[in-house]
Chain A
Amino acid sequence: MDLLPFFEWAETSLLGTIGKTYGGVYAIGQSLHLMSLALLGGTVLITDLRLMNLLLRDVPSEVVADNAHKWFKFALTVVICTGIFMAAAVATRMYYNPFYWAKMTALLAGIAFVFAIKRPLLKRPHDSIHPVVLKSMALASMVIWFSVGATGRWIGFS
């Protein structure tokens, strides 16, 4: 399925026109995108480093993971909303950028990993989960979200 017509439509849509015409609005969207990405990265790191027993060792990992997940969902929502706004303004350019597609792949993998793999497992008492599973899952989670961030930044330099 060719998605180019959709991207061309997105660039000429109201959202794309606002982003392209008003630099200040685009800058606000980009700032919110980066701040929410930082929050998302923080929740991922605090959860995964706790699961690896590297920080907050005096706080139960269930407490850390559950509280961080609430903020993760909020940050993810803002990242997606501001990301759609930013991409709409330069949609055709994004379509031809391989790192945009790498980022989208990593983002979808990250969302699927969190909601289909990580959260269902972490709903169990953590001491009932094999430590190797917990640690490898935490490593994989950090690797995925690193890839989301790194490919996202690479878009700007390609």
Chain B
Amino acid sequence: MQDSDNRKKMDRRELVTLSLSLGVVITAVVYWGIQISGVMDMLEMAYG
């Protein structure tokens, strides 16, 4: 399976997939981070 060769070179499609995947994960972390900090701010304002 996919563990067979960890050192093979990536072709263009693989590089595009890897870049987009990292972009998706970073975007999601930023988005959910902002949402969670917004909720925490609101809770702090409401309950101190």
Contacts and interface: CB of A to CB of B under 8 A. Distances in A.
A129 B8 CA distance: 9
A113 B2 contact: no
Nearest to B20: A117
Listed residue (B2, B10, B18) with the most chain A CB atoms within 10 angstroms of its CB: B2
Tier of interface size on chain A: 20 to 34
Interface SS majority for chain A: helix
Interface in B1-48: 1-6, 8, 10, 13-14, 16-18, 20-22, 24-25, 28, 31-32
Contact of B14 (A51, A133, A146, A150): A133
Contacts of B5: 127
23 contacts: A53-B2, A60-B1, A61-B2, A113-B20, A117-B20, A118-B17, A127-B2, A130-B10, A130-B14, A130-B18, A131-B6, A132-B18, A133-B10, A133-B17, A133-B21, A134-B2, A136-B18, A136-B22, A139-B21, A143-B24, A144-B28, A146-B28, A147-B31
